[in-house]
C-alpha cells in the first residue's frame, strides 16, 4: 500500500493530523463502535417522546460533530468529532425506520425505505464532490449546514399516527393520518383510522420494552437481521475506510477522489432504481440478484489483486459493478426488514438494537480488515468476502421471507408462529391498502 495514502498525508495536509496505520484503523472503525450506543438510546426514547422529536434532536450532535472536525488541530479532536457524529448517526436510524414503517402503505413501505438509503448515498456523494472541489476543512463547515436545515424541515412533519394513538391522542392521530395520506378528508381515512386504533390498542402491552425481548416475535427477526447484516455488509463496507489505499493498490486510471464520486453516484442511481423496482420484483428478488452478481465480481477482484499488471480499467469496472449491485438490493435488505418486522410494543428498542447490531458488525469487520490483509493479503481477504457473499445468497434463498406487499400483522404472525419462509412465500398476501 502507498504509505502516504495510508497515513492520510495526501488528505490532511497538517502535520499534527497525520495518522499512523493504527490511528487510521481506529478512525475508520470507531464510528461503528459508538453508533450502537446512539441506536439503543434513541430506540428507547422514541417510545416515550415520539419519533419526530428524536429525529429533530439528532441534528444537534451532527452539527456539533461537523464543527468539531472543522476546528480540529489534533488527532484527539478528530476522534472526538468522529465519536459525536457516530452517536448522532446511531440515534437517527431507529426513529427514521420506525416512522417509515408506521406511516406507509404496504405497497410503498419497501420503496420508501430504499429511498432513505438512496438519500444517504446522495449525501455521501455531495460530501465527496465538495471535497474534490475544496479542502477538507471547508467540506466539514459546509456539511454542518445540512443538519441545521434538516431540523427546521422536520419541525413541520407530523408525529406518527400509531405513536399518537398509543398515547391516546386520537384527534392528533387522525389529523396526522390525513396529512401522511396527502391531506385527505376525514371520510377517506375513517375506516383505516378505526382499524389502526383497534390494532394499536390491542398491541399495546403493560410490560416494559426490555421484558418483551424474550418473545419469539423479537428473537426470530432479530437473529435474521443480524445474519443479513453480516452477509450484506461485510463483502463491501468492511473496506470502506480503506477505499483510498485499495484503489491506489489497483492503480486505477482515474484520480481516487473522482473515482469516489463516480462510485457514489452509481450507488445513488442503483438505490433509486431499487426504490422503483422493489415492489415489482420483491425484496428477496432484487437481493438474490445483487448477491449473485456481487459474489462473482468480488471473486474477480480477488483474482485481479494477484496480478496488478492487468489494465486498471478491469478492476475499475468490477468495483463499479460491486457498488451498483450492492446498493441496488442487498445493502438495503436488512434496513427494509427493520422497518416492518417488530410489533408496536417493542418496536422502538428492537429497531434500536437491530441498528446497533449493524454498527457492531461494521466495527468488527472494519477493525479486522488490516489483520486479514496482513495474514492473507488483499486477494485472500477478498476471497473470504466472496465466500460470505455466496453463503448469504443461499441463506436468503431458503430462510428469508418475502414481505413486500404484506401487512405488518401478517409479517409479525409469521415470526410468532415459527413458520418456514418457503411456506410463507407460497401463501397469498392479504390484500389491504392499510398502512399498518
Under the banding of pLDDT at 50, 70 and 90, the label for residue 202 is: low
Q: How much of the chain exceeds pLDDT 90, in percent?
A: 17
Task: Give the side-chain half-sphere CA count within 13 A for 54.
Answer: 31
How many other CB atoms are found less than 10 A from the CB of residue 305?
Answer: 21
Q: What is the mean pLDDT of residues 11-33?
A: 65
Predicted confidence (pLDDT) at residue 211 exceeds the cutoff of 80: no
Q: Is the pLDDT of residue 1 over 70?
A: no
Q: Quote the distance between the C-alpha of residue 151 and its chain's center.
A: 20
Q: Which DSSP string do the residues of 280-323 spell out, in sequence order?
A: HH-HHHHHHHHHHHHHHHHHHHHHHHT-TTS-THHHHHHHHHHH
Count CB neighbours of 169 within 10 A: 15
Give the model's confidence band at 210: pLDDT under 50 very low, under 70 low, under 90 confident, else very high. Answer: low
Q: Does residue 217 or residue 294 have the better pLDDT?
A: 294
Q: What is the pLDDT of residue 7?
A: 33
Say yes or no to pLDDT of 31 above 80.
no
Give, in degrees to the nearest 5, the angle at Cα 312 between 6 and 386.
75
pLDDT computed for residue 59 by the predictor:
92
Predicted local confidence at residue 218, as pLDDT = 85
Backbone angles phi, psi at 348, to 5 degrees: -65, -60
CA angle 60, 64, 69 (to 5 degrees): 150
Instruction: Go through the chain and tell me how many residues it has.
Output: 436
Q: Higher pLDDT residue, 357 or 240?
A: 357
Tens-digit pLDDT profile for residues 65-118? 999 989 888 888 888 998 999 899 888 888 998 898 888 887 778 788 878 878
CA angle 29, 40, 113 (to 5 degrees): 80
Q: Quote the cell numbers at residue 270.
A: 442503483
What is the Cα–Cα distance from 429 to 436, expressed in whole angstroms?
14
pLDDT value, residue 222: 92
**pLDDT top residue among 277 and 432:** 277
The mean pLDDT value for 238-252 works out to: 76
C-alpha grid cell for residue 430? Answer: 392479504
Residues 58, 352: Cα–Cα separation, whole Å: 14
CA 47: distance to chain centroid? 21
Whole-angstrom distance, CA of residue 20 vs CA of residue 78: 13
Residue partners of 331: CB distance under 8 A and separation at least 6: 117, 232, 233, 236, 237
Tell me the pLDDT tens digit for each residue of 274-298: 888 888 888 888 989 999 999 999 9
> What pLDDT is attached to residue 147?
92
Q: Is the pLDDT of residue 57 over 70?
A: yes
As a whole number, mean pLDDT of residues 249-264 equals: 77
Assign 204 a pLDDT band (cuts: 50, 70, 90): low
Residue 124 in grid coordinates: 455521501
Using CA atoms, how far apart are residues 225 and 407, in angstroms rounded to an integer? 19
pLDDT(260) > 80: no
**CA 85 – CA 120 distance, rounded (Å):** 14
Q: Which three cell numbers stand for residue 81?
A: 468529532
At 419, the pLDDT band (50, 70, 90 cuts) reads confident
Average pLDDT score over residue span 46-62: 91
Residue 359: how many other CB atoms lie within 10 Å:
24
Residue 64 has pLDDT above 90, yes or no: yes
pLDDT tens readout for residues 397-417: 998 988 887 887 788 888 877
Per DSSP, the residues of 389-423 read HHHHHHHHHHH----TT--HHHHHHHHHTT--HHH
Q: What is the DSSP letter of 141?
A: H
Q: In order of start, what are the domains of the chain with their CATH numbers?
A: 16-183+212-425 (1.20.1250.20)
pLDDT at 16: 63
Greater model confidence, 258 or 319:
319
Q: What's the CA gap between 77 and 86, in Å, rounded?
A: 14
CB 88 within 8 A of CB 58: yes
DSSP state of 432: -
Q: Which has more pLDDT, 56 or 378?
A: 56
Question: Does residue 6 contact residue 55 with C-beta atoms inside 8 Å?
Answer: no
pLDDT-above-70 percentage for the chain: 89
Q: What are phi and psi of 18, to 5 degrees?
A: -75, 125
Note the pLDDT of residue 254: 79
Smallest CA-to-CA distance from 275 within 27, 57, 109 is with: 109
CA pseudo-torsion sign 229, 97, 343, 274: negative
> 291 or 234, which is more confident?
291
Mean pLDDT, to the nearest integer, of 45-64? 91
Cα(312)–Cα(265) distance, integer angstroms: 20
Compute the mean pLDDT over every residue in the chain, rounded to the nearest whole number: 81
Give the Cα separation of 193 and 179 in Å (integer): 12
C-alpha–C-alpha distance, residues 141 and 149, integer Å = 14
Q: What is the pLDDT of residues 302-344, one digit of tens each?
A: 888 887 677 778 888 888 898 888 888 888 888 888 888 888 7
Evaluate whether 241 touches 86 at the Cβ level (below 8 Å): no
Asked if the model's pLDDT at residue 8 lies above 60, the reply is no
Within 8 A by CB and 6+ apart from 216, the residues are 415, 416, 418
Read off the C-alpha cell for 248. 491506489
Amino acid at each position: 500500500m502507498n504509505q502516504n495514502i495510508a497515513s492520510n498525508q495526501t488528505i490532511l495536509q497538517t502535520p499534527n493530523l497525520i495518522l499512523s496505520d493504527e490511528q487510521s484503523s481506529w478512525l475508520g472503525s470507531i464510528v461503528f463502535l459508538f453508533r450502537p450506543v446512539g441506536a439503543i438510546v434513541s430506540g428507547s426514547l422514541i417510545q416515550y417522546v415520539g419519533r419526530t422529536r428524536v429525529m429533530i434532536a439528532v441534528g444537534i450532535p451532527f452539527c456539533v460533530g461537523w464543527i468539531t472536525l472543522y476546528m480540529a488541530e489534533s488527532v484527539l479532536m478528530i476522534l472526538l468529532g468522529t465519536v459525536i457524529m457516530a452517536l448522532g448517526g446511531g440515534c437517527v436510524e431507529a426513529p427514521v425506520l420506525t416512522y417509515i414503517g408506521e406511516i406507509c402503505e404496504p405497497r410503498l413501505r419497501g420503496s420508501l425505505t430504499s429511498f432513505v438509503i438512496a438519500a444517504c448515498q446522495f449525501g455521501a456523494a455531495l460530501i465527496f464532490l465538495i471535497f474534490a472541489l475544496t479542502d477538507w476543512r471547508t467540506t466539514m463547515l459546509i456539511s454542518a449546514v445540512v443538519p441545521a436545515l434538516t431540523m427546521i424541515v422536520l419541525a413541520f412533519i407530523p408525529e406518527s399516527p400509531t405513536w399518537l394513538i398509543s398515547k391516546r391522542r386520537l384527534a392528533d392521530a387522525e389529523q396526522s393520518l390525513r396529512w401522511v395520506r396527502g391531506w385527505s378528508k376525514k371520510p377517506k381515512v375513517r375506516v383505516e383510522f378505526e382499524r389502526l386504533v383497534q390494532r394499536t390498542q390491542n398491541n399495546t402491552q403493560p410490560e416494559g420494552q426490555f421484558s418483551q425481548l424474550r418473545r419469539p416475535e423479537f428473537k426470530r427477526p432479530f437473529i435474521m437481521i443480524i445474519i443479513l447484516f453480516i452477509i450484506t455488509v461485510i463483502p463491501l463496507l468492511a473496506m470502506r475506510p480503506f477505499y483510498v489505499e485499495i484503489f491506489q493498490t489497483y492503480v486505477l486510471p482515474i484520480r481516487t477522489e473522482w473515482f469516489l464520486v463516480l462510485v457514489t453516484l452509481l450507488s445513488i442511481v442503483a438505490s433509486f432504481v431499487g426504490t422503483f423496482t422493489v415492489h415489482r420484483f420483491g425484496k428477496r428478488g432484487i437481493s438474490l440478484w445483487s448477491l449473485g452478481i456481487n459474489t462473482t465480481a468480488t471473486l474477480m477482484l480477488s483474482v485481479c489483486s494477484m496480478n496488478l499488471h492487468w489494465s486498471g480499467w478491469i478492476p475499475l469496472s468490477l468495483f463499479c459493478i460491486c457498488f451498483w449491485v450492492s446498493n441496488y438490493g442487498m445493502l438495503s435488505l436488512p434496513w427494509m426488514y427493520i422497518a416492518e418486522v417488530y410489533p408496536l410494543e417493542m418496536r422502538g428498542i428492537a429497531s434500536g438494537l437491530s441498528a446497533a447490531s449493524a454498527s457492531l458488525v461494521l466495527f468488527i469487520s472494519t477493525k479486522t480488515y488490516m489483520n486479514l490483509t496482513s495474514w492473507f493479503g488483499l486477494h485472500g481477504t477478498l476471497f473470504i468476502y466472496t465466500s460470505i457473499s455466496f453463503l448469504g445468497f443461499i441463506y436468503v434463498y431458503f430462510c428469508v421471507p418475502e414481505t413486500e406487499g404484506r401487512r405488518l400483522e401478517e409479517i409479525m404472525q409469521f415470526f410468532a408462529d415459527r413458520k418456514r419462509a418457503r411456506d410463507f412465500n407460497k401463501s397469498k398476501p392479504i390484500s389491504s391498502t392499510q398502512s399498518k
